[in-house]
Structure 1
Amino acid sequence: MLDWQEILLDVQRNWLLYLSMPFVAAAIGFVTKIVAIKMMFEPIEFIGIKPYLGWQGIVPRKAATMASIACDTMTSKLIKPEDIFDRLDPDRIAEVIEQPMLRVVEDITREVASHYSPGLWEVAPESVKKLIINRIQADAPNMIRQIMIDIKSDIRSVFDLKDMVVSNLVRNKPLLNRIFQEAGDKEFRFIRNSGLYFGFIIGCVQALTWAGTHSPWVMPLFGGFTGWFTDWLALKMVFNPKQPTRYLGIFEWQGLFLKRRKEVSAQYGRLIAKEIVTSKQVIAAVLRGPLSDRLFNLIQKQVQRVIDDQAGIAKPFVVFAVGSNKYQEMKTVIAEQMMERMPETMAHIEAYAEQAMDLENTMATKMQELTPEEFEALLRPAFQQDEWILITVGAVLGFMVGEMQVFVMEHFAR
């Protein structure tokens, strides 16, 4: 330990170096935060030699886990399949797609009839062809209406919301990054800037300690502590405390993410409604998702009913022309072709569905009803996954800069 006179003399002689310590510590805190945030999201794909020599952003690397955790909160607390489909009016849908559906029915009927009985269909009077087509077309809107009623009555049997959300986010990792980055934009800025303030304060303590000891361990240890502590404290301040709390009777603090609840709710709701649970994605999930075979069964049932009911006087002609077995097979083929043409047909209802579902406002409103713990779960997974790695990297970088400081101090002190 140096006495006061030695300390004062050393500070006078190396005042510029002492003055630089708080600023270097602030820079350490700032840079380590930038590195930590970058490491959370970048790179999108692994760079290096797998499995250990290299890096992939924590969020994209654990995309399935991240998406699943975020989706659990979303689907259990914010939005359910029933919320999406209960607002869709079967009559309105039938009205919107009536014209494109009539064209599809005619195309499919002609194609299937030509395939199963090319000779008889070609020589059949046009009036008979029109009769078959018109009678099937006549019930097409009712068929769509009934299919929608069947879907709404047991939506979970044909639509897996969680699978749709998780699949889309895992497939589109940049989108998963955007959700966390945009929802937590101000939190990430706070974490980055907090390194400056906390680092500067620690740097002042570092300068006093160095003045009294001149120990070569002061710089790297304080550098490592700055990197570690500022990372840890910033993360704590983002999510804690849950409620506004006064400290030392001087200032009040509430976890920044929770304090911005209303703003985050609106932003998160807009992101989900515009990027993930869109009418286009929902329709695609119903038609092509893991439960689409059940939708096909519904369509097949309705198609067979319509063909049997509407074939009318032409039914004996059709059965005679193709045989009873072929007639049953033909109905199945028509159902399959209807299913294949559904994406093209249902695309016409996307604008109506988006307006009717109003997911953006629904999400924002329901987010206001979440408990602080549930609300925190929307962003917290991005920090919790391998959080220790980020803090450790901050400490290591700080330690290395501290070693460089020792070299500089010894060089100028000579």
Structure 2
Amino acid sequence: MSIFGDFAAHWQVYLSMPVIAAVIGYLTKRAAIEMMFRPMRFVGIKEPWLGWQGVVPRHSERMIRISADLLTRRLVDPDEIFRRLDSDRLAKEIEGPLLVAVDEITRDVMARYQSGLWDLLPPFARDLIVKQVQASSPLLVKRIMAEIQEHIGEVLDIRQVAVDALTRDKVLLVGLTRDISRPEMAFIARCGVYFGLFLGLIQTVVWAVTKNPLVLPLFGALIGWFTDWLAIKLVFFPRRPRRIGPITLHGVFQRRRDEVAKQYAAIVAREVMTVPNLLDAVLRGPRADRLLGMIRRAVEETIDEQAAAVRPVIAVAVGTKAFGELKRAAADRAVRYLPDTILHAKDYATAALDIRDTIATRMRRLTRIEYEGLLRPAFRQDEWKLIAVGAVIGALIGELQVLLLLH
């Protein structure tokens, strides 16, 4: 029977082949996409290594290092962003909780270290002392802010802020990668359909000529392998627009630079470089001792200035040694109150630091290779495995197709 006669007799079979090839292309792409992000933990037998863990979760430590390096070297300059904070505005933002904190600190420290003298004072005199200390609190805020802004590089390891935030929650890293690559993932799935359909037409012709049962699993493997490989390449390459006849080729991820910059910056500002995270790193991070020393010094200097007019009286009534202990106790208590007090200015600090727009603007200045580094590491390490899985799935579906056609 001729090829045309066979086609007329079994047209349903021939028409189904490119459709099934398109399905193979789509399914292998969906499998590759899901294997990028799932499962979060290894599933299988580790010895020997039989199983799978999502590519992004599996290589999270390396991706975290890459993201943190990019953020700190090219996108966020601590000196620049912290100088945007205005100490007068900050003092005004935290005025209410600051006055309450000063009131509590003053009364507690005086009652603890100078209980005899404090008990002898009438209530109005105690209130007067408290108000005097409260009046100096804006000066204290300025001093502390000046110390932080002057020595921010010494007291804040901003790379560690990024590493800690991303390490603390792997779901955050996976979500960050998945969110900025969502259009690319959709593009890969669509490519599977188009490329699969095209190769399926070739497969149909080969089948019509040879009738060889090996054609279907071989083409299934080829479709799975080639469409995975080509789709991943087209996500990133070419890096610059390249015109080939009427068609302009440009890597999908490279083409979306402005959109990705906004999205990435918004996620980092909302989840990673937040005011609470930065504050926690400054006050509790590996360099916190330096800042705490600066704050104690600023508190003690402020107390000295306020007490300058009555220093002879203090020397007699309190004693130089006791006065020194009182200053240190006040400084330590101020450090303890500082985190909760400053967090009342979170909205102002977030707007002033302007981390989101800063990152978005600087991302647009990255080289094409640096920009590609946001997403490319998620694919590069296990790219061959994703492609191989696509080939295996394609071959299995092709073999299933043989069984259905011949039996």
Of 266, 270, 273, which aligns to 2:266? 270
Gaps of 5+ in 2: none
What's 1:223 paired with? 220
CA deviation after TM superposition for structure 1 residue 312, in Å: 4.2
- 8 Å contact kept, 1:223–1:401: yes
Q: Does 1:374 align with 2:391?
A: no
Q: Does 1:288 align with 2:284?
A: yes
Q: Does 1:96 align with 2:100?
A: no
Q: Which moved more, 1:224-233 or 1:127-136?
A: 127-136
Render the CA deviation track for 1:38-96: whole Å, top value 9, x for unaligned.
11112233444546344332222322321221222222222211232121112221222
Q: Distance in 2 between matches of 1:329 and 1:36?
A: 65
Match of 1:246, SS?
Answer: strand
Amino acid at match of 1:384: R
Question: Structure 1 pair 9/320, CA: closer, same or farther in 2 (3 Å)?
Answer: farther
Of 103, 108, 113, which aligns to 1:106? 103
CA deviation after TM superposition for structure 1 residue 359, in Å: 2.5
CA deviation after TM superposition for structure 1 residue 313, in Å: 6.2
- 8 Å contact kept, 1:239–1:376: yes
Q: Distance in 2 between matches of 1:99 and 1:318?
A: 29
Q: Distance in 1 between matches of 2:259 and 2:358?
A: 15
- 8 Å contact kept, 1:88–1:356: yes
Amino acid at match of 1:279: V
1:27-106 correspondence runs (5 A): 27-50=23-46, 52-106=49-103
Q: Distance in 2 between matches of 1:330 and 1:42?
A: 57
What's 1:232 paired with? 229
Number of equivalent positions: 406
- 8 Å contact kept, 1:46–1:55: yes
- 8 Å contact kept, 1:279–1:354: yes
Q: Which moved more, 1:286-295 or 1:149-158?
A: 286-295
Amino acid at match of 1:33: K
Render the CA deviation track for 1:160-203: whole Å, top value 9, x for unaligned.
21111121122122222222222222111100111000011111
Q: Distance in 2 between matches of 1:326 and 1:11?
A: 104
Q: So what's the TM-score if we normalise by structure 1?
A: 0.90
Match of 2:374, SS?
Answer: coil
Q: Which moved more, 1:15-24 or 1:45-54?
A: 45-54
What's 1:184 paired with? 181
- 8 Å contact kept, 1:223–1:395: yes
Match of 1:252, SS?
Answer: strand
Q: Distance in 2 between matches of 1:368 and 1:279?
A: 24
What's 1:138 paired with? 135
Match of 1:87, SS?
Answer: coil
Q: Distance in 2 between matches of 1:322 and 1:387?
A: 73
Render the CA deviation track for 1:253-281: whole Å, top value 9, x for unaligned.
11111112222222222222233223333
Q: So what's the TM-score if we normalise by structure 2?
A: 0.91
Q: Does 1:386 align with 2:382?
A: yes
State the identity as a percent: 44
- 8 Å contact kept, 1:136–1:306: no
Q: Distance in 2 between matches of 1:317 and 1:215?
A: 107
Q: Which moved more, 1:382-391 or 1:47-56?
A: 47-56
Q: Does 1:358 align with 2:354?
A: yes
Gaps of 5+ in 1: none
Match of 1:88, SS?
Answer: coil
What's 1:260 paired with? 256
CA deviation after TM superposition for structure 1 residue 231, in Å: 0.9
Q: Distance in 1 between matches of 2:266 and 2:145?
A: 27
Question: Structure 1 pair 319/222, CA: closer, same or farther in 2 (3 Å)?
Answer: farther
